[in-house]
Amino acid sequence: MKRYRAFTAFILIVGALVALGYGLFGPQKATAALLSGLTLASLYFLLGAGLSLIFGLMDVLNFAHGVLFMVGAYVGYTVFGNPRLILNTAPLFLALAVGIIAGSRLAPLIPNRRFIPYLLALAGVGVTLWGIRGFPLRPLVAFEPTTAGGAIPTALAQEPLSRMLLRLGQLALAGLLLGPVAARWGREDRRAAPWRSLALGVGLTLLAVLLLLGRDPLERFLLGLSVDVRFFLALVAGAATGAALGALIETTLIRPFYGRPITQIVLTLGLMFAGAELVKFIWGKEGRPPMAVPSLFAQSCRSPNLLAWLTERCSSIDVLGRAFPTYRLFIIAVGLLILVGVALLLKYSRLGMIVRAGVQDSAMVEALGINVRRVFMAVFALGSALAALGGVVAAPFVGVYPEMGSIFQLQAFIAVVIGGMGSYTGTAVGALVLGLARALGDTLVTTGIALPGMAQALRASPAVARASTVLMMAVVLLVRPAGIFGRKE
């Protein structure tokens, strides 16, 4: 019984929620609510899975995880509908990265005096500000007619090629100054073959120059692609951006402070607020309408079943006489795919075995000659990529707005706590329980309960729907204080 106690609790909780839904709302409303709960559960899981992996392996509570979710949504939205912003800003980041790679190789040549790194960092920041001074960010963002001031044509929004090449040189110089500081801050081993750094630097330089030279034809080419291809590119770009930012956060903010959880929490909290303000600075405080869905979910019709939907490509499907958006089925499918894929990765791959061993005893894994730092960075990047992917998937469902990161992060934390801190299976279970509870709460607010003898249905306040997730967490923790699949320390 002890072995299956967690599964028994999970079945009882989900069974109670399902029975409550069908008892209060009837088959039609309850089925629609349960499907909506699965949709929310998939989004909560995409965000919570990374939190669970990172905490389980590294004991790090990353409060900036919601920022990665939000940044992924904005990057995917931009790749999908406004590629000129990416084509004009990506070369600047690439030039900065090239300078940092080159500067990190020069770290051993810098005199070992305490004030020199601070001077280099100050100079690097100053040159960076000099390089981006006057950059036309706002005109590049103004791509849609709905933006403040209206749309601005690309020819007027972007700078001449000569000016952009000068900015590349300035940011490469800034990276050269920041490179030695980044190498010492991250405590990287510089005994790696120098030709790898050279090849990476040359490759990034060529990519930056090619993006600038071909920015106009590339923009026309990307906008001329089908909606399906652009949506796929948005998914890839969002996940890749999340992975890169996750690796950067781990090496610069987390790695120097392992064993100091309070410092890590303060840093990630600060990054959460700074990231939200940075997103507002780049894309504006106004939200964006939902991103267009792929053609498989775009036709204005209702399919009677799944087989008919595959040929008709309707935007909704008939569920017991009620229309249910088919894109939500896609969100559920993505959540299930990620759940199975990461579970197989953890169980059968070499990385998964190292991660599972590291959760139990990271010191022993390092004693076996495994580079735990790289494993930590890979896990952090994987968790961040899942969060950013969830943001792109959520963009056609809830739209894109600056507060979406904090809202979904809170729900993801609750899902992780319900399932058990550090448990991947528990996170999936917690997300399911949380999604069902929130969907039932929303249904109680929107449709209400039809009681006998009452002319109108009894509806609850919207605060009840928001509080339903916290109430569910309280109930679960009263029964199992460590979470459904959690372990007592």
- Tokens 């679960």 label which residue? 476
List, for residues 131-168, the tens digit of each pLDDT value: 999 999 999 998 877 776 678 899 899 999 999 999 99
Residue type at position 316: S
Task: Read off the pLDDT band of 446 (50, 70, 90).
Answer: confident
* Cα diameter, the chain: 85
Percent of the chain with pLDDT over 70: 90
Distance between CA atoms of residues 179 and 184, nearest Å? 9
The Cα angle at residue 66 between residues 65 and 67, in degrees rounded to 5: 90
How would residue 52 be classed by pLDDT, with cut points 50, 70 and 90? Answer: confident
Q: Per the structure block, which two tokens stand in for 476?
A: 């679960």
- Average pLDDT over the chain reads 85
CA torsion angle 363 368 373 379 (round to 10): -90
Q: How far is CA 239 from CA 233, 243, 307, 365, in A?
A: 10, 6, 30, 28
289: which DSSP letter?
P
Residue 37: pLDDT band by 50, 70, 90 thresholds?
A: very high
Distance CA 86, CA 93 (A): 10
Q: Indicate if the pLDDT at residue 461 is higher than 80.
A: no
Residue 407 has pLDDT above 60, yes or no: yes
Give pLDDT tens digits for 208-263.
999 999 999 999 999 999 999 999 999 999 999 999 999 989 888 888 887 788 88
Q: What is the pLDDT of residue 489?
A: 56
- Mean pLDDT, residues 294-319 taken together: 86
Alpha helix positions (H), 187-325: 194-213, 215-224, 227-249, 261-283, 306-312
pLDDT of residue 305: 83
| Residue 305 to residues 171, 309, 324, Cα–Cα distance (Å) | 55, 6, 11
**Domain parsing of the chain, residue ranges:** 5-67+292-479, 80-257
Would you state the pLDDT for residue 102? Answer: 85
